[in-house]
Amino acid sequence: MNKTILNIKNLKKFFFHQNEKVEVLKNLNFSIKKGDLIALTGPSGSGKSTLLHLIALMEKPSSGKIFFLEKNTNDINENEINKIRKFNISLIFQNNNLISDLNVIENVMLPLLIRQENYKKSYEKSKKILSLVNLSKRLKFYPSDLSGGEQQRVAIARSLIAETDLILADEPTGNLDYQTSKEIFNYFIKLKKMKKTILFATHNRELANKADYKLSISNGNIKRINGKK
Ligand X SMILES: Nc1ncnc2c1ncn2[C@@H]1O[C@H](COP(=O)(O)OP(=O)(O)OP(=O)(O)O)[C@@H](O)[C@H]1O
Which spans of this chain sit near ligand X (rule: CB under 6 A)? 15, 17, 22, 24, 42, 44-50, 94
CB of 24 to ligand X, least distance (A): 4
Say how many C-beta atoms besides its own lie within 10 A of residue 150's C-beta. Answer: 21
Q: Which of residues 88-107 bind Mg ion (CB under 5 A)?
A: 94
**Contact predicate 155/98, CB 8 Å:** yes
CB closer to ligand X out of 159 and 216:
216
Q: What track of x and - describes contact with Mg ion for positions 34 through 73 (by CB under 5 A)? A: --------------xx------------------------
**Contact predicate 207/194, CB 8 Å:** no
* Coarse DSSP helix, strand, coil percentages of the chain, rounded to the nearest 5 percent: 40, 30, 30
Q: Which of 208, 207, 212 is nearest to 2 (CA)?
A: 212
CB of 135 to ligand X, least distance (A): 25
CB closer to ligand X out of 49 and 73:
49
CB of 60 to ligand X, least distance (A): 12
Q: Please identify the residue of the shown chain whose CB is closest to the bound Mg ion.
A: 49
Is 159 a binder of Mg ion (CB under 5 A)?
no
What is the Cα–Cα distance from 145 to 151, expressed in whole angstroms?
9
Residues 6+ apart with CB under 8 A from 176: 149, 152, 153, 184
173 contact choice in Mg ion, ligand X, none (CB below 5 to 8 Å, kind-dependent): none
CB closer to ligand X out of 48 and 214:
48
CB of 44 to ligand X, least distance (A): 3
**Contact predicate 211/201, CB 8 Å:** no
CB of 109 to ligand X, least distance (A): 28
What is the Cα–Cα distance from 167 to 154, expressed in whole angstroms?
15
Summarize as ranges the residues that interact with Mg ion (CB under 5 A). Answer: 48-49, 94
